[in-house]
Chain A
Amino acid sequence: MSNRAVGKALPRERAGSRLSRYAPLVGLAVALAAAAMATPEFYSITNLVNVLRQASILGIVAIGQTFVLLAAGIDLSVGGVMGMSMIIAAQVSGGDDSSLVAAVALALLMGVAVGCVNSFLVVKRNVPPFVATLATFILLEGARDAWTRGIPSGAIPGALQFLGQRNIFFVPVPALILLVIGASGIFTLRRTAFGRSLYAVGSNPRAAYMSGIRVGLMKYSAYVACSVLAAMGGLVLSGYIGYVDRYLGQGFELDSIAASVVGGVSLAGGKGGVGGALAGAALLAVVTNIVIFLNLGESAQLFVKGVVIIAAVALQARRVLTPAAPIHQGRAAT
């Protein structure tokens, strides 16, 4: 064939261009360089391990969020799921390792249940994902307060604290957990029929349906995966913090969405991947850490986060508006 030269093949990952593919990594490099100049303390081993731990917990949740975003959904209930999962761990186990298995199983089961409710509302009742997951979020908050009367009791079992706090050769355990989940996430999205179907559903649900893809089932799976990962994230976070209160998990819904979007996952569905979301999570954790070192207070944290997100989204939007030019076949034949 004489027409090999026509039209670059797209990269395997569904990122729009090379720029957007590497943008989160470039952003991360810039943030790390900025850290070196502004706050040299950033590069102490203790702090690096700490940042990695925080990034890992956010990363676990962001992977789930990415699955939902890819299916053109959004999940605002992850923070609620994390909080509920921590309280289940504390209340059920009462800090005792012997009932740990039951507590973890119950927390994960709660994740499955929330994912089912979210996707039932979205798939069967046609509720916009934003509204459906906001409703379950409020429901979870209410249920938690009703159960604990606002003051959670119990304690985090020691085994969970191992998951949250320990290091293995300077590598925090949450990072190892993330490594396993992240690798399976990347493999699932890039190599499996399920991953391909999920991208198809997010890119063009109608064409996917016409091609015989079970669109509803894909959405169910994405929401359930997201809630279960959020429940796991909650367990690791509770082990890290070592106690429970009613504020834990707060803000993770927006942080996980921000990490994904900063990492190139499209809010419109069908574009991006786990790798980008993890880079985004790392970027957010680093930026937050720098701001804390600079002693600028919580409001400045939010402000800087906002700036990073706006910059990322602006870069993405520019890409969407660039018209895709058709390649003419007459040209291709020469």
Chain B
Amino acid sequence: MLEANGGAENAGIPLVRAEGIVKSFPGVKALSGVAFECRARRVHAIVGENGAGKSTLAKIIAGFYQPDEGRMVARGREVTFGSPRDALTAGIAMVYQEFTLLPHLSVTDNIWLGHEPARRGVLNDANMKEQARDLLMELGMADPPLSTPARRLSVAEQQIVEIAKALAHDPSLLLMDEPSAVLGGGELDHLYDVITRLVDHGVGIVYVSHRLAEIEALADDVTVMRDGCVMWAGPAERTNRSDMVHHMVGRSLDETFPHRKTEVGDTVLEVKSLLLPGTEPEGISFHVKAGEILGVAGMVGSGRSRLARALVGVESTTGGSIKINGNQVPKSGPRAAARNGLVFLPEDRKQLGLVLDFTLAENISLPHLGRVSKAGVISRSLEDRLATDAIEELSIRTSGPQQAAQQLSGGNQQKVVLGKWLAAEPSVFVLDEPLRGVDVGAKAEIYRLIRDLADRGTAIMLISSELPEILGLSDRIIVMRDGLVAGEVASRDASEETILSLAVQEKSA
């Protein structure tokens, strides 16, 4: 880390400059001639839709990818990074969007992996733990679980450890790829504090994000990318949110939420005293009516996702009942839930939602193999029709039903998961963070899809960390805290403040 006494002459020196960067992957040009520069003491935000090339650019600077063309200069010297290790040696560290922790290693060992502070080859355990604890506490972890294996951490905790791991390298330039995607409000505040402190110490930050609010608050410089090109670059004070959106999508976006068309009907989903382990004895009770969107808010770790998973029988429960139209739903797993009209769009699209090796059609038909086959033999035409219907209904941008799921952009992948469950014609659709990692353009479409679905009489449960989404889409909102329902508000009476105060209230003794 550069010392604070570097003073004014340190301010503003370019830590890294990239010129004419070109990078192609099989079948697609990810970057076509991109220039980029990040200076010391500045936060430089890279924004753009998914697939715009922002992660690729960051990964090239961090040495993860090698550019096909172009040159890079780090602190006045031309450099070629063959691997992330070369970049680390040059003081450039990166927090990747994909998690890179080794699941069986402890938090401490993960943080020091590859650059363990050793004396004559012998690890200094106490020293490693102490420095790891300091880093994690700076990032807002009150009691860092230093010896816990990484696989036992929550997603938010893993993200914090990833950041600590990058900081442990003492970088002069730190790249962060969507670090806020999985963090809740409190953790974000700590992250912003740390960024401010690093900048004060002379570090340059490259911050990749598609959350424009956070860019406005954090960034000194902004680069807007689209289709592998830089559309706009300059100081943050010379742009604003609508300009950025305009550059990102090439058109202005109506960011308002669609309005409901029909009245809500009878109660469809009724949950009574559902007991998640650790939440006894009260349990969770709520209901959702036909055509209603129930928003579920709460901090990361408040039990929202556990509740959703419990509804489809993936998370174990110790009691309580789930009824759909008065019929008991067995808690034996997603298969039984789907048969009773309850389907679930999981938070982790790539791990749980899709089989990435499968084609679009194969993904959509997966829960409906019985329906598209005759005597156990799959009918190609029935399967293709199911997929074509979904492509049309959800306007999935694809070359056709036979395109591989992994070739689709994030937003279109999410539409495939939606389409797969829409084909089940569910009575209740539980959506866990349906808009995470979805680009701005596709977001508006998915908002409308969710609304349409409700207007057709489906009962919807919408879990989201984005309060504007919850407020804009829901008819009614329940707020969770510590695995229980902390309160319920009608959407028209709710504001971000009322929801937050319910979500963070101190536990009463």
Contact = CB atoms under 8 A, between A and B. Distances in A.
A327 B358 contact: no
B30 A325 contact: yes
B399 A6 contact: yes
B404 A326 contact: no
Q: Give the size category of B's interface with A.
A: 35 or more
A211 interface: yes
A5 B373 contact: no
Contacts of B141: none
| A-B CB proximity, top 10 nearest | A325-B25, A328-B51, A9-B402, A212-B335, A193-B369, A211-B366, A329-B397, A211-B367, A6-B399, A329-B409
A100 B470 CA distance: 71
Interface stretch (A52-60, A142-150, A201-209): A201-209
B373 A210 contact: no
A213 B26 CA distance: 33
Interface stretch (B11-19, B278-286, B344-352): B344-352
A324 B400 contact: no
A326 B358 contact: no
Interface in B368-396: 369-370, 373, 376-378
B346 to A, nearest CB: 6
Interface in A279-334: 322-333
Contacts of B376: 192-194
A212 to B, nearest CB: 4
Nearest to A11: B402
B399 A7 contact: yes
B333 A209 contact: yes
Interface string A6-29: 111110001000000000000000
A71 to B, nearest CB: 13
Interface in A176-197: 191-194, 196-197
A300 B174 CA distance: 54
Given A7-B27, A7-B403, A207-B352, A327 B409 contact: yes
Contacts of B407: 7, 324-327
A190 to B, nearest CB: 9
17 contacts: A3-B399, A7-B404, A9-B359, A193-B370, A193-B377, A194-B376, A196-B369, A199-B357, A204-B356, A209-B333, A210-B346, A213-B335, A324-B25, A330-B52, A330-B226, A331-B227, A332-B398
B399 A329 contact: no
A192 B380 CA distance: 11
Interface string B301-331: 0000000000010100000000000000000
B406 A9 contact: no
Interface in B207-235: 226-228
Contact of B411 (A4, A214, A329): A329
Contact of B404 (A10, A331, A332): A10
A6 B412 CA distance: 14
A239 interface: no
Contacts of A329: 51, 397, 408-409, 411-412, 439, 441-442
B451 interface: no
A325 B409 CA distance: 10
Contacts of B441: 329
A200 interface: yes
A324 B25 CA distance: 8
Contacts of A209: 314, 333-334
Contact of A193 (B28, B378, B412): B378
Nearest to B226: A330
Contact of B352 (A3, A206, A325, A326): A206
